[in-house]
Structure 1
Amino acid sequence: MDTRGLSTHVRARLTAQPPVLYFVVALGAALRLYGLGAESFWIDEYSSLAYVTSRTTFEVAREVPLVDPHPPLYYLLLDIWTSLVGVSEPAVRLLSALFGIAAIPLLYALGAELYDRQVGVFAAGVLAFSRFHVSHSQNVRMYSLLVFATVCSMLFLVRLRTAPTRRAAVGYVAASVALLYTHAFGALVLVAQHCYVLGSRFVRTGGTWAVDPRRWLGVQLAVAVLAVPWAIDMGRQALALLTPGGGSGAVAWGWIPEPTPIRLVSAVGAYVTPSFEDGFGGFLVLVVIGLLALGSQRRVSLDRERTLLLACWIGIPVVALFVVSSLVVPLFIPRYTIAAMPAVALFVAKEIRRVGTVEIRYISVVLLVVALVAGLPGYYQTSQNTEWDDAAAVVTDGADGDDVVLVHRGYFAGLVAQYVHRDRPTVPVERVSVATPVESVRQTVRSHDGDVWLAMSSSTARNRTEIRAVLARSGRHVRTERAFDDVTVTHYVTNDTGGTQ
C-alpha cells in the first residue's frame, strides 16, 4: 500500500467511528491535561524521578528492580522521557497522561470487537471520566501504563479468538511482555487470560476453545521466554517477602493495611467514584445498574463466554489478590487492582446495553454519569498532595548559605531538597533521624551557625516537642511558622544571648 493509499485507509477508518467517540476522547484528554503541574510531587513520584535522574539507562534497567518492587519498563520510559522534556511537574507527568489518554480509544476498540460500538463508547466514557483513572494519569507512576498495556493485551487476545493472524499473535506477545515489565501484578492479568481460555471450552457451543490450544501455548511460550529476567527478579522478591526477616532482597510492604470486605468493595467502587466513603457509593451504583439490567423485561440475553472473560479479568486481579492478602501477606490496595478497571467499565457498558427498555437505559446512563462526574470537582479544587513546593518556597525566600533545613523522616528530605535547590542550591537540607531525632538535630545545629528551617509533615509530628526543645537549648527561637496542607515550616533564628547545646 502506497502513502496515498495508506492515508485514504486511515481517513476512512477514522471517519467510520461514531462522532461521540471523539467527544469522549477529547474530554478525557482535557481532564488528564488540566492542572497537570498544579500539585507538587508526592513521595512516590519523587522516588520514580530520583530512580532515573540518579542512574544511567543501563543502571535503571539493572538496579531499580533490586530496590523497587516493580519491574523497570516504566522507569526506562521515564528515563528517556525526562532526557527529552526535563523534570518539571507538568513535563514529567505528561508521560502518564499520554498513556491514560491513549487507553480511552483503545478500550473503545476492545469493547467494539468484544460486543459492539455502543458498548465500546460507553466503556470508553467510563474510563475517560473516572476520577480514579484521571488521578493515576496525572501521577509519575506506572499505573496508567499498566492500564494501557492491559487493554492492549486483552485486545489482541480477542483478536486471537476471532481472527488468529500472525499480526495478532505478535501484538499479543508484545503487549503481554510490556504488561509483565510494567507492574508486578500485571502477571495476574495473564493468569486471568489463562483462566478464560481454559474455561471457554465449557461455555462455548460445541465445547471448542476460544483460542486454538497450540497457538495459545506458542504465544505463552514466547511471553515466558521474554519474561525470564522479570521472573528472576520477581522470584527473588517473593522469596524475600515470604522469608521471616526478609533478607537482602526484601522490599518493605508493611505499610499496606490488612484487607477487609469494605476495602474490597470500596476498591471496585472507586473505579466509578470515590466521592462517598472512598468508593462504596460507586459500588452501589454498579449494583443498581446490574439490578436494572437484570430486572428489565426485554433485556438482551447474556453471552456466557464474554461474561467469563470479564469475570476472570475482574476476579483474578481483584478478588484473588484480596484472598492472597488475607491468607498470606497484605498486598491489597486499590491502585494495585487498576488493571481490572477496564473490565469493570466494559461490564457496566454491556449491562447498560443489555437493558431492553429505553427509559431504564436512560436512567442507568444518567446514574452512571452523575456518579462519574460527582468526584471530579473535588479532585481539581482541593489539594491532593502535600504542598512541598509551597513549603520549600518559604525557605528559598528567606534562607541563605549559612542556614540549614531540617526535614523529619529521611524519605521526605530528598523531595524537599529538590524544591529548595531549584532556587537555593547552596542551602543544605539535612535529614532528622526517626530513630534518634533529638540527637540528630543536636548534631546538625552544632555544625551550623545560621538559621534553622524545620519542615515537618503532619503525619510525622510526634517528635515536634522534643525537636523544638533541642532548638531552644541551642540558642534559637521561633520567628515564623507557616502551615500548609500536611506540612509545617518553622523558621528558627539565633538568640542575641546565645544558648547551650
Structure 2
Amino acid sequence: MRRTAQLWTLLAALVAAAFALRTLVLIDATALWSDELYSVGKSFQPSPLELLGMLRQDTHPPLYYGLLWFWGQLVGQSPVSLRLLSWLAYLGGGAVMVAQAVALSDGRQRVLPLALLLAFCSPYPVRFAIEGKSYALLVLLVALAWWWRRAERSVAYGVVAALAGLTHFYGLFLMLAAAAWDGASRRWHLAGAAVLGAIPALGWIIYSADYLFSSRSGSWIGQPDFALLEESLARALGLWPLPKLLLLVVLIGGLQRWGGMQPLPWRRNRLLDRSALLPSAVMVLAVVLVSFVKPLAFSRYFVVLLPSVLPLLCVLLTASPLHHWGQRVVLGVVLVLLISWWGPGFSELDPTAGGVREQDQFRAISQRTNGQRERYSPRARLFNLSDQMELSMGRITAPELSWGDRDELRERLLRSPLPDELWLASSGPPQKLNRKLKPLQQQAEAAGYVCADRSGGLSHGRLLRCRLGSRGPLL
C-alpha cells in the first residue's frame, strides 16, 4: 500500500513538473500585455526614489515593484526577467500550499498527489505563473501567512502579513479580516500580529491617498454581478466552470454516500479556521458589499483565495480511504480536469493555440515598425515601453524617435516640412482600438495623408501607413 502511494505521488510530481516546465517554456512566447508593460514602466526606473514617486499615482502598493526593480538590477531588465520572477514565486507558492495541505491533514501522505496537481496545474496559478504582475508573489506571501497563522507563530505571521499587504491591497484586506476573526475568537496574539502587519500598507494608503481615493483609481472595475462570479470560477476551474463546479459537488456527495469518504470532524479539527477559509470568506463578503458603493471586486484579484481553498479541498477529498470504485471515479475526474487544463488552460499563454495575452499585441507592432521614424498612437507610452523591451531582447534596433501621442501628432502636422509618411497604430480589443485610433487617422487625412491598412495577421492590433496624398496610397 505504501509503495502504491509513493507511486501516485511520483506520478503527480511528474505531471506537476510538466505543467511548470511548460509555463517556463512559454515565458516569452506571447507579447507583454498592457499591465505588464505598466510594470516595466513602474519598476525599470533609474533609481528607487523615482520608483516610489511614480507609485504614488498607482492603484497598487509598492513591494512587488520595488522587488522587481532590485531583480532587474540583478538579472537584467527584459520580458524574460520580468516574468521569471513570477514563475519562481509560482513554484514557491505551490510548495507552501502543498505543505499546508499535508499539515492540515495531520501528516497524511495520501493528500500529496492531489495537492501537487491542484497547486501546480490548476488554471489560477498557471495563468499568473508567467505574468509580470504581483499575483504569483501575493499567493506565495498569503500562503506563508496562513502557514504561520496555523502554527500560531505570531512574529513570523505578522512579518509576512505586512509583506502581503504591501504587495496588493487584497493582501491587506485578508489580513484585516483575519485580525477581526481571530480577535472575535480571543486569539489576541494572532489578531495583534495581523493588525501590526497591516500598518505599513495602511501607511502607504495615507501616502498615496490623493490618487487612491480619486475617481481614476480602479475606474475599470464594475459593480458586482453574476459575470464576476462566472469569470472568477473560470479562472479557478478553467473551461466550463459551472458544470465543473456542479461535478465537484456531486462527486463529494457521491463519495460520502457510496465511495467510503467519511464526513470531516469540522468542529474537532477546526479545519475551516486553521485553513483560513473563514477569514477569507469574511474578506470576500466585505469586498463584494463595499463594491456596490466603491467597486473593488475584480476576478483576477480573487487569486488570493487559493492558499486557503486549495489545501482545504485537498484535505476534504483525501480525508479517508476510498473504496476501489471511488478511487477510480476520482482518478477519472482528475484526468478529465488535467486534460482540460493542459489544453484550454494554456490557450492565452501559447500562441500556437491562438493565444493573445489579454487582447494585446504590442510586440508585433513594435517589430513591424522597426526602423520607422514618425510613429503615433493613442497608447504611445505602452508602445515606447514595448520598444524598450524588444530592444533588450535584440529583436529591434534602437528607435530614432519615440512614439508620439495624439497631441504630438497634431504639433508635428503644424510644422514644415511634413514627413513623407506616418505610422499610426494601436492594440487592444478591436472595437476599442479602432475607436481610439480614428481621431489620429482623421488628423493625418486632414493634413493630406492617405492611409493604408498594414494590419495583416493582427487579431488585436491595427497598423496604418499614411503617405502624403500627392504621392498616392501605397500599393
What's the offset of the Cα at 1:255? 1.0
Residue 321 of structure 1 aligns with an amino acid whose one-letter code is V
Partner of 1:471: 444
Q: Distance in 1 between matches of 2:183 and 2:176?
A: 11
What's the offset of the Cα at 1:372? 4.2
Partner of 1:444: 412
Q: Distance in 2 between matches of 1:393 and 1:220?
A: 48
Residue 14 of structure 2 aligns with an amino acid whose one-letter code is F
CA RMSD after TM alignment: 3.0
Partner of 2:64: 74
Residues 471 and 420 of structure 1: is their aligned pair in 2 closer, same or farther, counting only changes over 3 Å? farther
Residue 41 of structure 1, aligned match among 29, 32, 36 = 32
What SS does the corresponding residue of 2:131 show, helix, strand or coil?
A: coil
Percent sequence identity is 19
Q: Distance in 2 between matches of 1:424 and 1:383?
A: 28
Partner of 2:374: 404
What SS does the corresponding residue of 2:314 show, helix, strand or coil?
A: helix
Residue 159 of structure 2, aligned match among 166, 174, 178 = 174
Residue 488 of structure 1, aligned match among 438, 462, 469 = 462
What SS does the corresponding residue of 2:405 show, helix, strand or coil?
A: strand
What SS does the corresponding residue of 1:429 show, helix, strand or coil?
A: coil
What's the offset of the Cα at 1:268? 3.4
Q: Does 1:289 align with 2:261?
A: no
> Is residue 421–residue 465 contact of structure 2 (8 Å, CA) maintained in 1?
yes
Q: Distance in 2 between matches of 1:230 and 1:50?
A: 22
Q: Distance in 2 between matches of 1:123 and 1:150?
A: 17
Give CA deviations for 1:2-61 in whole Å, capped at 9, x if unaligned. xxxxxxxxxxxxx9x95456435523421331210111111111111111223412443x
What's the offset of the Cα at 1:336? 0.9
Count of residues in Structure 1 that have an aligned counterpart in Structure 2: 442
Q: Does 1:57 align with 2:57?
A: no
Q: Distance in 2 between matches of 1:196 and 1:290?
A: 28
What SS does the corresponding residue of 1:452 show, helix, strand or coil?
A: strand
5+ residue gaps in structure 2?
1-5
Q: Distance in 2 between matches of 1:465 and 1:345?
A: 47
Q: Distance in 2 between matches of 1:217 and 1:473?
A: 65
Q: Distance in 2 between matches of 1:124 and 1:195?
A: 31
Q: Distance in 2 between matches of 1:239 and 1:412?
A: 24
> Is residue 189–residue 317 contact of structure 1 (8 Å, CA) maintained in 2?
yes
Residue 370 of structure 1, aligned match among 308, 312, 336 = 336
Residues 191 and 123 of structure 1: is their aligned pair in 2 closer, same or farther, counting only changes over 3 Å? farther
Residue 389 of structure 1 aligns with an amino acid whose one-letter code is R
Residues 176 and 20 of structure 1: is their aligned pair in 2 closer, same or farther, counting only changes over 3 Å? farther
Q: How does 1:142-161 map to 2 (within 5 A)?
A: 142-160=134-152
Q: Distance in 2 between matches of 1:462 and 1:350?
A: 50
Residues 64 and 289 of structure 1: is their aligned pair in 2 closer, same or farther, counting only changes over 3 Å? farther
Residue 407 of structure 1 aligns with an amino acid whose one-letter code is S
5+ residue gaps in structure 1?
1-14, 161-167, 202-208, 434-439
What's the offset of the Cα at 1:296? 3.9
Q: How does 1:93-492 map to 2 (within 5 A)?
A: 93-115=83-105, 116-160=108-152, 168-194=153-179, 197=182, 213=187, 215-216=189-190, 219-220=193-194, 223-224=196-197, 227-235=198-206, 246=214, 251-273=216-238, 275-276=239-240, 279-296=241-258, 298-304=260-266, 305-310=270-275, 311-326=277-292, 328-354=293-319, 356-378=322-344, 379=347, 380=350, 381-385=353-357, 386-396=360-370, 399=372, 403-418=373-388, 422-432=396-406, 441-447=409-415, 448-457=418-427, 458=430, 459-462=432-435, 464-479=437-452, 481-483=454-456, 484-492=458-466
What SS does the corresponding residue of 1:408 show, helix, strand or coil?
A: coil
What SS does the corresponding residue of 1:456 show, helix, strand or coil?
A: strand
Q: Distance in 1 between matches of 2:258 and 2:235?
A: 26
What's the offset of the Cα at 1:90? 1.6
Q: Distance in 1 between matches of 2:462 and 2:291?
A: 35
What SS does the corresponding residue of 2:125 show, helix, strand or coil?
A: helix
Residues 374 and 25 of structure 1: is their aligned pair in 2 closer, same or farther, counting only changes over 3 Å? closer
Residues 468 and 114 of structure 1: is their aligned pair in 2 closer, same or farther, counting only changes over 3 Å? same
Q: How does 1:6-45 map to 2 (within 5 A)?
A: 19-20=10-11, 22-45=13-36
> Is residue 222–residue 295 contact of structure 2 (8 Å, CA) maintained in 1?
yes
What SS does the corresponding residue of 1:331 show, helix, strand or coil?
A: coil
What SS does the corresponding residue of 2:173 show, helix, strand or coil?
A: helix
Partner of 1:9: none
What's the offset of the Cα at 1:466? 4.7
What SS does the corresponding residue of 2:356 show, helix, strand or coil?
A: coil
Residues 491 and 269 of structure 1: is their aligned pair in 2 closer, same or farther, counting only changes over 3 Å? closer
Q: Distance in 1 between matches of 2:439 and 2:405?
A: 16
Residues 229 and 344 of structure 1: is their aligned pair in 2 closer, same or farther, counting only changes over 3 Å? closer
Normalising by structure 1, we get a TM-score of 0.79
What's the offset of the Cα at 1:446? 3.3
Partner of 1:205: none
More off after superposition, 329-338 vs 117-126: 117-126
Residues 106 and 125 of structure 1: is their aligned pair in 2 closer, same or farther, counting only changes over 3 Å? same
Residue 263 of structure 2 aligns with an amino acid whose one-letter code is S
What's the offset of the Cα at 1:184? 0.6
Residue 99 of structure 1 aligns with an amino acid whose one-letter code is A
Residues 219 and 478 of structure 1: is their aligned pair in 2 closer, same or farther, counting only changes over 3 Å? closer
What SS does the corresponding residue of 2:425 show, helix, strand or coil?
A: strand
Higher relative contact order (CA 8 A, sep 6+): 2
Partner of 1:12: none
What's the offset of the Cα at 1:420? 7.3
> Is residue 188–residue 316 contact of structure 1 (8 Å, CA) maintained in 2?
no
Residue 73 of structure 2 aligns with an amino acid whose one-letter code is S
Residues 41 and 428 of structure 1: is their aligned pair in 2 closer, same or farther, counting only changes over 3 Å? same
> Is residue 99–residue 148 contact of structure 1 (8 Å, CA) maintained in 2?
yes
Residue 468 of structure 1 aligns with an amino acid whose one-letter code is Q
Q: Distance in 2 between matches of 1:314 and 1:220?
A: 14
Give CA deviations for 1:234-292 in whole Å, capped at 9, x if unaligned. 256678666xxx2xxx652121122113422441352121x23xx43443343333333
Q: Distance in 2 between matches of 1:238 and 1:334?
A: 24
What SS does the corresponding residue of 1:67 show, helix, strand or coil?
A: coil
Q: Distance in 2 between matches of 1:284 and 1:339?
A: 22
Normalising by structure 2, we get a TM-score of 0.83
What's the offset of the Cα at 1:387? 1.8
